[in-house]
Structure 1
Amino acid sequence: MICFSRVLLGLGAALASAPVAAQVPKLLPLPAELHSGRGVLAVSGKTALVMPAADTGARIAAERLAALVAEARGFELKVGSDASTPSIRFVRAATGKAESYRLEVTPKGATITAGDDAGLLYGAVTLWQAMTQAPGRGAVSIPAFTVADAPRFGWRGLMLDSARHFQSPAYVRQLIDWMAVNKLNTLHWHLVDDQGWRIEIKKYPRLTQVSGWRRPATAPGAPQLPQVGGFYSQEEIRAIVAYAAQRNVTIIPEIEMPGHALAAIRAYPELGTGVPIPPGTESDWGVFPWLYNFDDKTFSFLENVLDEVIALFPSRYVHVGGDEATKEQWKGSAEVQARMKALGVKDEAALQAAFMHRIGGHLTKRGRKLIGWDEILEGGEVPPDATITSWRGVEGAIIAAKAGHDAVLSPSPILYFDNRQGFSDSEPPGRGNRIDLKTVYGFEPVPSAIPAAQQHHILGLQANLWTEHVRTEARAAWMTFPRASAVAEIGWSAKAGRSYDGFVDRLIPQLERMRALKLEPASSAFAVTPDYAYVPGSDSVTVTLVNQSGLEMHYTIDGSQVTAKSPVYRGPVSVKLTSQFKAAAFHSGRELPGGVKQTVTAQSVRWRSDEMLKTCTNRVVLALEDDYPATGKRATFVSDIFNPCWLWEKAPVGDAKQIAITVGQIPFNFQIGKDIETIKFAAPATPEGEFEVRAGGCEGSRVAVLPLAAAEGNPGLTRLVGRLAPRAGNETLCIRYTAKGVEPMWAIDAVELIP
């Protein structure tokens, strides 16, 4: 049963002025039971942390609480052995299922009770949240309350892709800290892929010597970018694993096979089927055809690698990938075909199943369990104790559960955090789908198609951060939070009783307290997004505002600062040209990040960034970072790589005489197989090609042509200006370019109509 106080109060002054008996803290994830008490507990540097002398788990939880409080509030809680009051006590006693706990806060002290180390830690995390309901330093008074809490799922995870872009050990530890205070407990660490090998294997040093590094791709004629990469030594990994264990985070390593094997084959070519690797291939993105060979030497290599991995990671599971293993190289290898015939294997899908059986058997002998992406369900019998990570929707989990296999839900695109959270110039590069906070929060991990008797096979869920387009650690943090907090609540809290509005109300103070842990989360969920509608000849513009979280927005049109007392946005606003328009979302009277400040002029309403345009098609839309300059800010281009074409709907063309398009060139570094043959361009009229503009849609009349000669060879942005045929009113413009092929790929940064 879930029991909540009916009075949930805001931050700051509202918290201080409310009746004490009605106050309960805003906690994330939402606890199973939360009851208000009477009175307050004062906590300061004089408050003692008390636990049984020989209880190592209790001491770890107490020390973690002390560290969190020191970072957030600036004072130290002392670990003591006396029973003085008020104090914070850690008590070992049964509280139900794994990771459960009970927390009771009274004016006489706080008591955290749990049957395991994880429960004690999570009780400490909850108490820390109660102590940081509002920003501030120094001693704090906590209204009395009681929590009885337990998780819905045992697997509440994130996946970090360190293969495509390497993150420092310091960042990995930060991520673990952020996970722990959200009660996330599983870090799936993607250490190996086509672009890089990140884990030191002492028996095979070339894996990191050769494949720990690469040079990013650049467009023809652009300056070469410096080498990037790195890897984790075994000593660093042991330290990170130990660090995670103290925060109840289990790290599950992933060693990809039989596909996504280019990094290993680069280092040791005999592991492949003999197909040469063109120089620079490791700098591409996409689905690569290079697979491991199917011979005893290759399996000896993989088993030796896994043995070193097992020695580093004590997790019950080892992830072996199994996804996106295209079979053309196996089909073209006489050696592999002969092996198939000798084994009596009917096709290449069945050969992959045999591959996984052999690897699964080795892991079983070592006391570990195989887990893989849902493709391992194909081709025949799955290893008997295999667990499935369902990423191609939820179907893999349904098939697995019905067949008696455990499964983790991780479906694309909803739990793929390389998808962007919004469409604005503040968003970093990534996939073009908008997977916002509300979308993530609405995900249900137990598919209705799974019969009740098999639902216990759903272990939980995880979100995946693939980093092809996530070059920096700051961007990794932005892409992960606050959406990871939504995953945490879905995984921990019962479905009944949760609501998105309540989640947002609790999320905002959670993000504020996490800033003390050096998190700079995305502002996307709270950002105010304006849309400017302008009719040529008018002296005003209509502004429409939205924000993802449905929070109250305030605005001003005279340049004054936006406050909670400014007008509330209730619908489209008419703004005179040459006005200062400002708007922001507010929560409990406080302005949230992501506000808008815009000088609305005759020029600004005739300008659109690529983020404000639409792509003509949505086959594979990506927000791609420019390959220039090597250091400093780079442009980000939104484009469908299969059809680079953009639409400006209701463009104010009526009084425009010219059009300016700011463009850039980027490499076409995508492994897409034969699909590249489907990318078609109109033939260029000039050697370098040209951008063309059509009115009324892509089949409409051509109203402007802008030759690309001026941009050819320029690694940065180029502003092209051309005459625009006379038009009336507002009209959709279709913008695309002519070319002989995909290399280089041109993209738009901004478009402007010039009167």
Structure 2
Amino acid sequence: MKKTFLLLAAACMTMGAAAEVNYRTIPLPQRIVLDPSGKVALLVKGQAVTYPAGNGQMRGTAQLAAGYLSLVPLEGGKKSAHGLHLSLGLKSDNPEAYTITVDKKGIRIQGASESGVFYGLQTLRKSVAAEQGDTIRLPYATVSGEPRFPYRGAELDCARHFFPPAFIKKFIDILALHGVNRFHWHLTDDQGWRMEVKSMPELAAKASVRPCTVVGRNLGLGDPDNAIYDDTPETGYYTQEQMREIVRYAQERFITIVPEIDLPGHMVAALSVYPELGCTGGPYSVWRQWGISQDVLCAGNPRTLDFLHKVMDEVCGVFPGKLIHIGGDESPRDRWKACPKCQAKMKELGLKSEAQLQTYINQDIEAYLAAKGRDIIGWDETLEGGLSEKASVMSWRGYQGGIEAARQHHHVVMTPKSHCYIDYYQLKNRDAQPLAIGGYLPLSKVYSMEPVPAELTGEEAKFIMGAQCNLWTEYVVSPDHAMYMLLPRLAAMSEVQWMQPGAKDFDDFSQRRLPVLQALYRLLGYKYCTAFE
């Protein structure tokens, strides 16, 4: 008791020389003002973290703070000079803004909303990552931050390789640490269907099973029967109960999940269970190789839309977020050109191209989801046949698709593969890294990304919602491998998503602030690439 009293009494001592905390985290707050007095406040293990009574979201953040900082949650506790105090009421035009204040009155985080408080907590947590012992010395300061973009995403492909629910939660924790607020969950593809659909139980049970996988970059496209395959089955899917638990886990960290059901292409796994939904009638099997399949959903078969409606019913029942990703990329139209049903549908609708046939599917799904209060987002190929007003675009083949979409007043997430595809190698020396799909995307290039092209007018630029990095997993086979590809490039993306371009400084980021964050990676057991270029 005497020891605790002495620690608390020392809170206002001048201890500038001993304090190492400088609040220069990743992403960097917009404003850091250190008190010239050099005084510090002490945050001691076992102290309270108080939060407003009756606010469940703030309770959850306080519980997370307790875990991060070894504190004790206290609902409706009175403000004092000791412990950590969480509150709302910050005046800001940005609902995710926060301010951390450290002075003689204590240590306080105030947010413009509950999410703002959470991001302030993450900044505080990262600020003290290097502190050891039961007492953390925090210099008197005012620290303020707010994100540049409302959509700050990261994607994980769980179709090519299945990642267990425990790792999905760890992935979400990593996103939260970096201020990401959208988890784009790629759940279906030619090589596996990973979402349980209760009205069609055989779909996930059968389409989640890939008996083997092509070895290395021997894609197997030219001669799949004679390609080299491993002898390891790839299996696994997420039950709806597991997905709902993951949704809840993400919500506690102010992350919205954007589920992706890729259509009308990338559907071979589903066609292996329902061959009548393909133009040729099959037979089909879950794809063992990588690349782009010519086999897609038959646009002229009315049962195709019935199938998709059933899937979307259950997607909406599990995922409460506004956006549903419908893919739309890499969907060849050769089968449609040769399919009597598809050609008859084109004639019926008065369509002039197969691209418009894909738009017909997109618009049907969009209307179906709109009746459930949801909006669609798709890859930039969805622009080719025309988009309806509320559809959003994820621009991956470059910036041009996003530019065109913004000029048409569609909301856009910029994710060009040149800057955002973190399945690419991150070092020039490929022998020093695990096998990857190819390419070269160093940390510095991720950091250099500018989501708002200069070609856009001020009005058009308002349609750029944000940026996202994508982790495709054809060659990413384990959780450790996924973390290695993600980190530290996600740290660079977080500064793209949070900071104004004029405030970014790669040398400061990489030489001064990144080593501190990497120390936290090690403490948390996160695998990461230790070198960067």
**Same-fold status (TM-score > 0.5):** yes
Secondary structure of 1:236's counterpart equals helix
The gaps in structure 2 that reach 5 residues or longer are: 1-13, 216-225
CA contact (8 A) 1:135 1:513 kept: no
Cα distance in 1 between the residues matched to 2:377 and 2:214:
36
Cα distance in 2 between the residues matched to 1:46 and 1:22:
22
Shift of 1:79: 2.8
Secondary structure of 1:433's counterpart equals coil
Instruction: Using the TM superposition, name which of 194-203 and 91-100 deviates more.
Output: 91-100
The counterpart of 1:442, out of the listed 430, 443, 448, is 448
Partner of 1:123: 120
Q: How many residues align?
A: 503
Secondary structure of 1:214's counterpart equals coil
Q: 1:512 and 2:510 equivalent?
A: no
Secondary structure of 1:420's counterpart equals coil
Partner of 2:409: 404
Match runs of 1:210-359 below 5 Å: 210-217=206-213, 225-277=231-283, 282-294=287-299, 295-359=301-365
Identity, in percent, stands at: 34
Secondary structure of 1:462's counterpart equals strand
Partner of 1:110: 107
The 3 A distance-change label for structure 1 pair 278 and 148 is closer
Partner of 2:508: 502
Q: Deviations over 1:140-179 (max 9, x none)?
A: 2122221121110011110000000000101110011111
Cα distance in 2 between the residues matched to 1:204 and 1:23:
55
Partner of 1:197: 193
Cα distance in 1 between the residues matched to 2:91 and 2:432:
45
Shift of 1:457: 0.1
Cα distance in 2 between the residues matched to 1:218 and 1:370:
33
Shift of 1:521: 1.1
Structure possessing the higher radius of gyration over alpha carbons: 1
4+ residue segments displaced more than 4 Å: 16-23, 218-224
Cα distance in 1 between the residues matched to 2:166 and 2:20:
41
Shift of 1:453: 1.3
Shift of 1:23: 6.5
Q: 1:374 and 2:380 equivalent?
A: yes
The counterpart of 1:29, out of the listed 27, 30, 36, is 27
Shift of 1:278: 5.8
CA contact (8 A) 2:268 2:284 kept: no
Cα distance in 2 between the residues matched to 1:383 and 1:117:
33
CA contact (8 A) 2:21 2:128 kept: no
CA contact (8 A) 2:189 2:267 kept: yes
Shift of 1:82: 3.6
| Partner AA of 1:66 in structure 2 | A
Q: 1:99 and 2:96 equivalent?
A: yes
Cα distance in 2 between the residues matched to 1:23 and 1:511:
16
CA contact (8 A) 1:162 1:191 kept: yes
The 3 A distance-change label for structure 1 pair 420 and 159 is same
Cα distance in 2 between the residues matched to 1:275 and 1:285:
22
Shift of 1:327: 0.6
Match runs of 1:505-584 below 5 Å: 505-525=512-532, 548=533
Secondary structure of 1:156's counterpart equals strand
Partner of 1:40: 40
The 3 A distance-change label for structure 1 pair 181 and 22 is closer
Shift of 1:441: 0.2
| Partner AA of 2:432 in structure 1 | S
Instruction: Using the TM superposition, name which of 46-55 and 241-250 deviates more.
Output: 46-55
Shift of 1:241: 0.2
Partner of 2:465: 459
Q: Deviations over 1:292-343 (max 9, x none)?
A: 1122211011011001000100111000000011111111111111111111
Secondary structure of 1:230's counterpart equals coil
More strand by share: 1
The 3 A distance-change label for structure 1 pair 167 and 135 is farther
Shift of 1:267: 1.0
The 3 A distance-change label for structure 1 pair 251 and 500 is same
Cα distance in 1 between the residues matched to 2:335 and 2:294:
7
| Partner AA of 1:65 in structure 2 | A
The 3 A distance-change label for structure 1 pair 196 and 137 is farther
Cα distance in 2 between the residues matched to 1:314 and 1:223:
39
Shift of 1:205: 1.3
Shift of 1:412: 1.0
Cα distance in 1 between the residues matched to 2:523 and 2:444:
25
Cα distance in 2 between the residues matched to 1:202 and 1:46:
46
CA contact (8 A) 2:450 2:496 kept: yes
Instruction: Using the TM superposition, name which of 463-472 and 60-69 deviates more.
Output: 60-69
Secondary structure of 1:308's counterpart equals helix
Q: Deviations over 1:547-597 (max 9, x none)?
A: x2xxxxxxxxxxxxxxxxxxxxxxxxxxxxxxxxxxxxxxxxxxxxxxxxx
Partner of 2:146: 150
| Partner AA of 2:289 in structure 1 | D
Shift of 1:17: 9.2
Cα distance in 2 between the residues matched to 1:477 and 1:84:
40
Cα distance in 1 between the residues matched to 2:492 and 2:380:
24
Cα distance in 2 between the residues matched to 1:240 and 1:60:
15
The 3 A distance-change label for structure 1 pair 48 and 509 is same
| Partner AA of 1:79 in structure 2 | L
Match runs of 1:158-173 below 5 Å: 158-173=154-169
Partner of 1:52: 52
CA contact (8 A) 2:19 2:40 kept: no
Cα distance in 2 between the residues matched to 1:63 and 1:36:
28
| Partner AA of 1:248 in structure 2 | F
The counterpart of 1:187, out of the listed 179, 183, 187, is 183
CA contact (8 A) 2:424 2:441 kept: yes
The 3 A distance-change label for structure 1 pair 110 and 355 is same
The 3 A distance-change label for structure 1 pair 60 and 221 is closer
Partner of 1:387: 392
The counterpart of 2:434, out of the listed 428, 431, 437, is 428
Q: Deviations over 1:254-273 (max 9, x none)?
A: 00111111011011111111
Q: 1:136 and 2:136 equivalent?
A: no
Q: Deviations over 1:699-732 (max 9, x none)?
A: xxxxxxxxxxxxxxxxxxxxxxxxxxxxxxxxxx
Secondary structure of 1:283's counterpart equals coil
Cα distance in 2 between the residues matched to 1:190 and 1:338:
32
Cα distance in 2 between the residues matched to 1:223 and 1:340:
40
The 3 A distance-change label for structure 1 pair 259 and 278 is closer
CA contact (8 A) 1:95 1:102 kept: no
Q: 1:61 and 2:61 equivalent?
A: yes
Structure 1-normalised TM-score?
0.65
Shift of 1:223: 8.2
| Partner AA of 1:286 in structure 2 | G
CA contact (8 A) 1:88 1:109 kept: yes
Instruction: Using the TM superposition, name which of 285-294 and 219-228 deviates more.
Output: 219-228
Structure 2-normalised TM-score?
0.91
CA contact (8 A) 2:272 2:284 kept: no
RMSD: 2.0
Shift of 1:474: 0.7
Partner of 1:531: none
